[in-house]
Chains A and B, each alone.
Chain A
Amino acid sequence: MTKFTVTFDENECKGCELCAVACPKKLIALNLEITNDAGYNPAGIGKMEECIGCQSCARMCPDCVITIVKND
């Protein structure tokens, strides 16, 4: 199990990429495969195992799309 689980509410994401830019590990990118109801490509995390749980992504997200769980 990864140390952190970062999940995205894909339906609410507006694809602004602020999270992607904020991630110090550059783990986040838009998923161009999916277009949500509002017409956006939602963000998603690539290598979850590299996540350091810094919450930068979540803090930057204007739409509260991101939830972070610490797995102890």
Chain B
Amino acid sequence: MAKIIMKGNEAVAKAAIIAGCRYFFGYPITPQNEVPEYLSRELFAAGGTFVQAESEVAAINMVYGAGSAGARVMTSSSSPGIALKQEGIGYCVAGEVPCVIVSMMRGGPGLGTIQPSQGDYNQATRGGANGDYHIPVLAPGSVQEAVDDVKEAFEIADCYRTPVIVVADGLIGQMMEPVELEKPVKTRNTAPKSTWAIGYGTREKPNTIENLVIDAPACEQKNIRFFKEKYAVIEQNEVKYEEYMMDDSEYAFVAYGTTSRIVRNAVNELREKGYKIGLIKPRTLWPFPQVPFQNKKIKKFLVAEMSMGQMVYDVQLAVGDKEKVTFYGRCGGIIPTPEECAEYAEKVMGGGQ
């Protein structure tokens, strides 16, 4: 298939349609507006429905309904809008409702700025809804990866009956890049709708999407089931990361999303200067990759984020030795340059050339 050039947000929207998503419920917020705008135009033509919800709260609860009804459904938003969705996301988790949530991060906290950021790593990976749960979080670093991840997200959502978050930043949403839309993704097993989705039950065996588990022992059992049968399996099967120039590296940048492409340039720059440095790029933030951090040759892991440092804790946990982990970040909508990242790395490596 030929590549075309598309804006990240529109590519995300188009990818959803290609993945069979026919329902979108969302509320405007910069920098993701082109997702609802595109879908408001294209979904009806595709035989689906677009509803501009009255709020992010309503949007996620519409998603909860459509997902419960067995449809592929998506919502998207940005930082404060995602915060508003937290309760509803919790309901999707507890009701085991497959759905995809796109989070185009901007600078925070609060209303903050609309410029790109990675300050919502915790928001995506640690939740903010109540209770014990995890949500698969995919982190694309380019328009192409955003397209691939959205398509994959629907597969994961359906397979494990869970919400899936695709977390990018405003830059990826706003920029245009060449992209191939039709790249196939791995399909996964899914339970037939008749076994769970509403609208597919029978009088004898109605399907119900439940959220209340009033008896504590039953509630505990549900939690244990989620961790054993869902999260453990996802950790086993769905973890994704990339390595760049890591074969002989003694130092490793760790970065995801937009930061990873910037750092990649920094790696090139440093390699030219003779530094043995590479890049570990988590493509899933939960489950967080563990294997690349077991690399004993690495003297320091240099975490770079567009935040004050949030992924750094996951890296510390994965490495198991805090001393080996350093951090460089810009935040509040500032995008670091390859040059400043390289400069930082040189400082960390000292004479490590």
Do A and B share a direct contact in the complex (Cβ within 8 angstroms)? Answer: no
Chain A interfacial positions (CB closer than 8 Å to B): none
- B positions within 8 Å CB-CB of A: none
